[in-house]
Amino acid sequence: MRVTAMRARAHRLPLHRAWDGGVDRNDIVVVEVDTDTGLTGTGFSWTPLIGARSVRALLEDDLRPALVGGPAHPSRWDELRRHLREAGTSGITLMALAAVDIALWDLTAKAAGLPLVEHLGRRRTTVPAYGSGVNLDYPLSDLQDQVRRWLAAGHRAVKIKVGSPDPARDAERVRAVRTLLGADGLLMVDANQRWDVPAAARALAALAEHEPHFIEEPLPADDLRSHVRLRSRTPVPFALGENLRTVEEFERYIDAGVCDIAQPNVVRVGGITPFLRIAEAADRRGVPVAPHLLPELSGQLALCLSRPAMVEDIDRASFADLGALAAPSGVRVERGALSADTGLGHGVVFADTLNPLP
């Protein structure tokens, strides 16, 4: 099976409510890869604010000539990454490569006559999910209403944002959410890299009574030394990875003892191929994986991992919630658990009526 054509189109998906910092949309680049067998695979890149046009340009100008005519198989990932190396080996080049890699995995699963989960090797029928929101700017009453919706939907694990300029505000909000959850619910907090070491140590000491299950990104993601310093000052587990890009980066953070839960984003790391390599590296070191966002695909991958933690059910921002899909993908989150019963391939089919990127 060989590639005969590749197409890329960029779309804008307005969010139902802006995320912290004024993020009011998610942009996606959808890729279709045709083959000489008549099969077409679909992939995508996800750029929630910046980069969609650059990703599309890399795909059209640089990846398409290298891809067309060659085997339609994800084993080409390393070859294609080398092809892009003059533009960099991380960042936006990986985000472009992800769209192709996802499409190639979709193709190989379809060629095998299998859903992607079965093609990769399903290990379980469900994986735990948690309610998640980008909600630091929500008034307390809105935050409580959001958590109540998650609880009504069956979630017993939730994640909220922290990192307010006034630490007392964080303490009040975490206390209120813990009250709603009860003692048995899992409460995670995410600082989105807002703290330095002293601020993080003080904040986590103040929040300790509410038993956070983990703190996500307490410090700038690329500052390994500061994470090591903070590690000695708090027992709260660290969840890291949405802003790490390579297998080597994940290995360094895990080996330094500062990544207790790994959170790779399947697009930012370059696709399914490197995502699985990161999961294998984490598994060898006893670290569970909680994929970052994109539940329609991340959830399928979690069903195939030997050591999954949870998948993220982001509030009203899945592809289905944003109206991006032509039909249900077969991935469902119900009563705090994700399951997948897709057609052949990954089952994610984007609507033809999506708004083009302006």
Active centre residues (catalytic) = 161, 292
Which secondary-structure segment (H or E) carries 8? strand 3-19
Tell me if 111 sits within 8 A of 39, measured CB to CB.
Answer: yes
Which of 309, 314, 287 has its CA nearest to residue 128? 309
State how far the Cα of 3 lies from the Cα of 220, in Å rounded to an integer. Answer: 40
CA 19, chain centre distance (Å):
16
Q: Determine contact, residues 143/329, Cβ cutoff 8 Å.
A: no
What angle is formed at CA 263 by the lines to CA 102 and CA 261, rounded to 5 degrees? Answer: 145
Rg (CA), the chain: 20
Chain-centroid distance of CA 192 in Å reads: 14
